[in-house]
A and B are shown apart, each in its own frame.
Chain A
Amino acid sequence: MLEKFVKNRKGLDYYPPLVAIIGIFVLGAIISMVFLKQYPLAAQFSLGREPLRLFHTYATADKALAFVDESASIALERSAYISGKSGFYDSFYDSPPSCGSRDGLNLWSIGSMESDCTFPLTTCYPGESGAASQFKSNFESALGELVKTFNAKGPVIVNGKPVVLPDSYNLKLQPVPGRTEITGTADKPLVIAYGVTNPLKYEVKAGFRVDLPFDLLTNRKAIVDTAQQAAGKLENDARDVINSADGVGGLDWKEDFNLERIGSICLHDVGTCSCCQDEQECNKFDKDGFCVEWGDWVTVPAGDGTVVEKLPFDIITAPMSVKVDGAGGSHARFFIYDDASGKVSGRDMTYEFSLSWMEPHPEDAQTACECSSGYQC
């Protein structure tokens, strides 16, 4: 048959178009086969089982990651609040500064009476690196508690097993102007196996970047600078320093003066001081000594004709609070859980600490001789 076809000259001319037509039909048949095979299935369902498993795995992981993000926001607010409350030191009860604390506030400066009747100031200002590491430590602790809650409750279940969040994060406190930003990356990946047979193993590293609308470490520097200028000064001068700092950099200063005296002072005739309760007690130590009442300055004539003023009580310790402005001019406010009351309440972000300075110089300081000779002081 083929031989007859090729013997014919006309048949030879039709050979290439015939091959082309057959080729088109064969290719068309193959393509039709492929698409006809897919069409009935694809027409019924728009998304397959395998892609659904993949998306479900992603969505499940996203739930856990979203929880970490929100927990990081809470931890940031909590650690900022704790750092502010403790004057950038560790929790008050864990490691108070060397100056000690008074009325729940860590002291940044304190004056103490020496035997030579002077009142030198001891200072304990928080340093930058210490404040940063303290802040990170508070953050880590707060985040750890929230992650622990999630892992204990296990609300996200995959294949009958709860998804477990990593509890250790590599933290970085970023220097961002006007903000306190902290980033964290989990040390271990979050692993989710999805599907019963041939499960997908989806691994993702939990990470977060959260911030507050104020710069905690820059605030520390501004507050410490002001505190250093005010500490140890006479009260009026200290007030001037604080008033000039008030409102600068979104920081609202407030002082609440609290006179804290150590009692009466016995001024000895040998030029030394000691504490006493009354004149009688003072005389026990030194028959020529005299006891100065609370709140009195005294003028002691020195042998060479000069006059020495003595401050007969402890330096004032003044609790200080510096509120931080938040968004829209209102104070930055966080929701903090109080262990004692067992309640969550909104509180202003405030740095709290205590400074020491002296009471104003009186107009007419009493002289020691008047007191010692029995006149009314």
Chain B
Amino acid sequence: MMAPRKMHKKGFALEMIFSALGYFLCVFVIVVLLNISGCILNKEAVSSSVSGRADTAASLRAEVQLAAYMRTQIPSSTELFAKLDWLKGKHDKEFAFANGFDPEAAVKFLDKHPEVYSGKDYAGFIRSIYAYYLETGDKDGVKSTFNAVTAVLFFRSKGDKQIKDGHLYYLFPVGVDFGVLDLELCDLGYKVYDLCAGYLPQQLAYQGRTAVKAESWVPLADNRMARVELLYYPEFEAWLQGP
């Protein structure tokens, strides 16, 4: 039986060096792969990709929110009137809209003028109600209808055990400026509009009053433009979305 051949000391050292080289080659390949996937960047590059101003982000959030509002389809008459019934029940007992709201006047107006909402999105509704706003014969009806439709589409609630019926209701203010200044205006606190709607609960005062404004434009039948503004409260919504 032959004894196992003993390795020369120098051969063993060379094998060690080559295995160490192989090992560092593997590490190098891993580092290169990590670099390709973008994990290793210089501080400036990382900073520009992940750092941003909070107010810019909130402004973007508000703009996207308003764009979504404008494209929201108005529900069928059955659904619309069912939700209006719900609003009538809650109105004054638990909340009151900015700019006043007469549910009966809104129902009467919508019943008489289905063309303002039938098959339209929110932007279409705004350009349709413009004609009746100009007529001014039924101003309460127009104002209440704007409040009612805006509320039906965008009213939100959040479960809150501290409140009597367990829900905190809110409607971020929406203002419409037709540029018709000789008519009765509506006040959202810091600015006046032709039409506006909104309901902000008391809790807003404690959770952040900073509003971010977003604008959008709607074409009108007489080749004018209406400016629509949304007041968005990022801190308040962040609090609402919290645990």
Residues of A within 8 A of B (CB): 2-3, 6, 19, 23, 26-27, 30-31, 34, 37-38, 41-42, 44-52, 55-56, 59, 62-63, 66-67, 70-71, 73-74, 78, 145-146, 149-150, 153, 155-156, 213, 326-328, 330, 333-337, 342-346
Closest chain B residue, CB of each to CB of A55: B60
- Complex CA–CA separation, A50 to B220 (angstroms): 35
Would you call B30 an interface residue if the criterion is a C-beta within 8 Å of the partner chain's C-beta atoms? yes
Residues of B within 8 A of A (CB): 9, 12-13, 16, 19, 23, 27, 30-31, 34, 39-40, 43, 46-54, 56-57, 60, 63-64, 67, 70-71, 77, 113-115, 118-119, 123-124, 127-128, 130-132, 134-135, 215-225, 227
- Complex CA–CA separation, A68 to B127 (angstroms): 14
Tell me what chain B mostly uses at the interface: helix, strand, loop, or mixed. Answer: helix
14 contacts between A and B (CB under 8 A): A19-B19, A41-B46, A41-B47, A45-B51, A59-B64, A63-B216, A67-B218, A145-B223, A155-B217, A330-B114, A330-B115, A337-B223, A343-B134, A344-B221
- Complex CA–CA separation, A67 to B216 (angstroms): 9
- Asked whether, in the complex, the Cβ of A34 is within 8 Å of the Cβ of B39, the reply is yes
B135 to chain A, nearest CB (A): 8
- Complex CA–CA separation, A42 to B39 (angstroms): 13
Taking CB atoms, residues of chain B closer than 8 Å to A149 are: 219, 223-225
- Asked whether, in the complex, the Cβ of B50 is within 8 Å of the Cβ of A346, the reply is no
- Complex CA–CA separation, A330 to B116 (angstroms): 13
Taking CB atoms, residues of chain A closer than 8 Å to B64 are: 55, 59
Taking CB atoms, residues of chain B closer than 8 Å to A50 are: 48-49
- Asked whether, in the complex, the Cβ of A45 is within 8 Å of the Cβ of B52, the reply is yes
- Asked whether, in the complex, the Cβ of A70 is within 8 Å of the Cβ of B124, the reply is yes
- What 8 A-B pairs have minimum CB-CB distances, sorted nearest first? A333-B115, A337-B222, A48-B49, A344-B131, A48-B50, A344-B221, A335-B131, A71-B219
- Complex CA–CA separation, A146 to B217 (angstroms): 12
New A-B contacts (8) at CB < 8 Å, excluding given A6-B12, A56-B63, A149-B225: A48-B50, A52-B56, A66-B70, A71-B219, A328-B77, A330-B118, A342-B222, A343-B134
A363 to chain B, nearest CB (A): 48
Contact of A62 among B19, B47, B67, B224 (CB under 8 A): B67
Closest chain A residue, CB of each to CB of B26: A23
B184 to chain A, nearest CB (A): 18
Closest chain B residue, CB of each to CB of A332: B115
- Asked whether, in the complex, the Cβ of A328 is within 8 Å of the Cβ of B216, the reply is no
Taking CB atoms, residues of chain B closer than 8 Å to A342 are: 222
Contact of A27 among B27, B222, B227 (CB under 8 A): B27
